[in-house]
């Protein structure tokens, strides 16, 4: 894997959801590596796609505003790309329960459309899918390895599991090379912070920067592992450049599991602003909460040589600094979404 970065030089790659959080950071890194980058993003309001994420590198890549749910569009766009990073998705657990049909369309049906497009129009492509630890549901033990049962607690987890299995089946049956990365809580610059429906950490960071109060559910003893976005991007790059992981689902977890209350205290220490207090769990969130979770990432370490390299403190420092400089580009009303939780 020592030459996995050189692998991308001059290579045509496509990123679905490429104007979103992880996708845009991946696109920027690929531009640095001199890849030929095509971003495909539907810019659905409230989902996190933001043209500002790539504004300074836009001359070095192409952006196609398109919906991955359109089969004919995908049939055309996948052609000619050596690697397809498939990050388009609906990631809100709460919204998946409120609007399960849309979650099904984006996280399940659209994934099948993309794979069919590749099978018939670009069968030599390598596809790397952005999976999630949410498919495990409530852990039976910690840390959670890939051998853990898949038993989601919400509609989003069910559809993400289906999307992942489509990729693995197409690898095994149709020989379309595919890998799924089961991401834990990824954080960093360019994350959606307009609202709290796509995870807690981005919202916590915004509240701290704005010197507001963070509400911590329960007693704050729940444990999570967090991955800085640059480390997550590195996992995608390694998976895209290697056939050793074909047909595999791999955990991408953090190195420092931490309780919510300790995470908030660290964040406030880094930001120098903000406050917090404990509150009871809202019933809708408690019903689908998975409790404490942190991943065993030894399989991806053994297969691809990946491990998280950015400490939690350093990642928070970089993230807070980024939003202190660019926050208006992520909360302005005209950009879509809402500023309320």
Q: Which of 102, 207, 103, 208 is nearest to 152 (CA)?
A: 103
Q: What is the pLDDT of residues 134-159, one digit of tens each?
A: 999 999 999 999 999 999 999 999 99
Q: Which of 119, 258, 121 is nearest to 185 (CA)?
A: 258
Paired residues of 276 in beta bridges: 214
Handedness of CA 107, 303, 297, 12 (dihedral sign): negative
d(CA 237, CA 314): 22
Contacts of 106 (CB under 8 A, 6+ apart): 68, 69, 88, 89, 90, 159
Paired residues of 127 in beta bridges: 84, 178
> Token pair for residue 20?
């979103």
Q: How many CA atoms lie within 13 A of 325 on its CB side?
A: 9
Q: What angle do CA 142, 309, 327 make, to 5 degrees?
A: 100
d(CA 5, CA 113): 29
Residues of the chain with pLDDT under 50: 333-341
What per-residue confidence (pLDDT) applies to 145? Answer: 98
What per-residue confidence (pLDDT) applies to 1? Answer: 55
| Alpha-carbon dihedral angle through residues 208, 225, 90, 75, given to the nearest 10 degrees | 130
Strand pairing category for 185-187 and 226-228: parallel
- DSSP 3-state of 186: strand
> Token pair for residue 18?
């490429």
Q: How far is CA 80 from CA 75, 125, 179, 242, 309, in A?
A: 11, 8, 19, 18, 33
Quote the CATH superfamily of domain 6-257+268-330: NAD(P)-binding Rossmann-like Domain (3.40.50.720)
What per-residue confidence (pLDDT) applies to 335? Answer: 40
Residue 168 Ramachandran class (φ > 0 left, ψ -120 to 50 alpha, else beta): alpha
Paired residues of 22 in beta bridges: none
Q: Which of 133, 131, 139 is nearest to 160 (CA)?
A: 131
Q: What is the pLDDT of residues 226-273, one digit of tens each?
A: 999 999 999 999 999 999 999 999 999 999 899 999 999 999 999 999
Q: How far is CA 21 from CA 24, 153, 245, 272, in A?
A: 6, 24, 24, 25
DSSP 218: T
- Torsions phi, psi for 258 (to 5 deg): -150, 140
d(CA 165, CA 209): 39
CB 203 within 8 A of CB 284: no
Strand pairing category for 223-224 and 258-259: antiparallel
């Amino acid at each position: 894997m020592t030459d996995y970065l050189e692998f991308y030089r001059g290579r045509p790659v496509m990123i679905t959801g490429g104007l979103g959080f992880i996708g845009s950071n991946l696109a920027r890194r690929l531009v640095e590596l001199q890849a030929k980058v095509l971003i495909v993003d539907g810019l659905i309001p409230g989902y996190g796609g933001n043209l500002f994420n790539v504004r300074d590198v836009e001359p070095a890549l192409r952006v196609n505003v398109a919906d991955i749910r359109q089969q004919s569009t995908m049939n055309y766009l996948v052609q000619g790309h050596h690697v397809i990073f498939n990050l388009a998705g609906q990631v809100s657990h709460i919204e998946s329960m409120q609007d399960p049909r849309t979650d099904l369309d984006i996280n399940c049906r659209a994934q099948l459309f993309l794979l069919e497009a590749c099978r018939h129009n670009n069968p030599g492509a390598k596809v790397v899918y952005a999976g999630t630890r949410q498919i495990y549901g409530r852990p039976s033990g910690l840390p959670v390895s890939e051998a853990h049962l898949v038993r989601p607690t919400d509609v989003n987890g069910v559809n993400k599991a289906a999307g992942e299995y489509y990729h693995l089946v197409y690898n095994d049956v149709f020989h379309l090379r595919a890998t799924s990365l089961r991401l834990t809580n990824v954080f960093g610059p360019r994350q959606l912070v307009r609202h709290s429906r796509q995870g807690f950490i981005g919202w916590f960071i915004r509240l701290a920067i704005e010197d507001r109060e963070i509400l911590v559910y329960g007693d704050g003893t729940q444990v999570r592992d967090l991955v800085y976005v640059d480390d997550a991007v590195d996992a995608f790059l390694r998976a895209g450049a290697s056939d050793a992981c074909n047909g595999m689902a791999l955990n991408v977890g953090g190195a420092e599991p931490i309780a919510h209350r300790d995470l908030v205290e660290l964040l406030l220490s880094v930001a120098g602003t903000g406050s917090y207090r404990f509150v009871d769990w809202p019933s809708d969130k408690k019903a689908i909460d998975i409790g404490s979770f942190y991943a065993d990432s030894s399989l991806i370490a053994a297969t691809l040589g990946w491990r998280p390299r950015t400490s939690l403190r350093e990642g928070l420092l970089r993230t807070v600094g980024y939003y202190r400089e660019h926050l208006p580009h992520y909360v302005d009303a005209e950009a879509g979404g809402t500023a309320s939780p």
